[in-house]
Amino acid sequence: MLITCPYCGPRDVIEFTYQGDGNRERPQPASQNLDAWNAYVYDRLNPAGDHNEIWQHSGGCRAHLRVVRNTLTHEVLSTAFARGGHKTESRS
C-alpha cells in the first residue's frame, strides 16, 4: 500500500502510523458533555468502503494527513494535510 504524502510523494505504508477514524469530533477541552466525550473516545463509523482517516508520516516528514481510503480494496483515494486536526466543534 502506497500513501502519497503532500510533501514527500508516494511512500510505502510502513513509513506511516495509523491514527484512526477521522470522522470523530473532539469536544472542546473544557466541555463537560459526557455523551460527546464518550462518542469521541469510543464510537466509530467503521464503514466497508471509503473511510476518512488520519495518518502520520512518522517515518518521514512527520506531517499529519487526512487520507480517504477504501477499506474493501485498500485503495488510497486522496491525501491532504490534516490541518485543523480533528474537527473541534462540540457535537451538541
Partner 1 sequence: MAEYSAFSLLKNALTGNKDWKPAWRKPDPKASYDVIVIGGGGHGLSTAYYLAKEHGITNVAVLEKGWLGSGNVGRNTTAVRSNYLLPQNTRFYEHSMKLWENLSHDLNYNVMFSQRGCLNLAHTPAQLDDYARRGNAMRHLGVDADLMSVDQIKRLVPALDVSGSARFPVLGGLMQRRAGSARHDAVAWGYARGADRRGVDIVENCEVTGFLRDGGRITGVSTTRGEIRAKKVALAVAGSTGRVMQLAGISHMPIESHVLQAFVSESLKPIIDTILTFGMGHFYISQSDKGGLVYGGDLDGYNSYAQRGSLPIVDEVMSEMVALFPGLARVRMLRSWGGVCDMTMDGSPIITTGPLPGMYLNCGWCYGGFKATPASGWCFAHTIAKDEPHEFNAPFTLDRFYRGLVIDDKGQGATPRLH
Query: Measured between alpha carbons, how far is 64 from 41 in angstroms, rounded to an integer?
Result: 19
Query: Measured between alpha carbons, how far is 67 from 8 in angstroms, rounded to an integer?
Result: 15
Choose between 71 and 78: whose C-beta lies nearer to partner 1.
71
Question: Which set of grid coordinates corresponds to residue 27?
Answer: 469536544
Residues forming contacts to partner 1 in the complex (CB under 8 A) are: 1, 12-14, 18, 20-21, 34, 38-39, 41-48, 51, 53, 69, 71-74
Q: CA Rg, the chain, in Å?
A: 14
- Least spacing, CB of residue 84 vs partner 1, in Å: 22
Provide the greatest CA pair distance for the chain: 41
- Least spacing, CB of residue 24 vs partner 1, in Å: 9
Choose between 59 and 61: whose C-beta lies nearer to partner 1.
59
- Least spacing, CB of residue 39 vs partner 1, in Å: 7
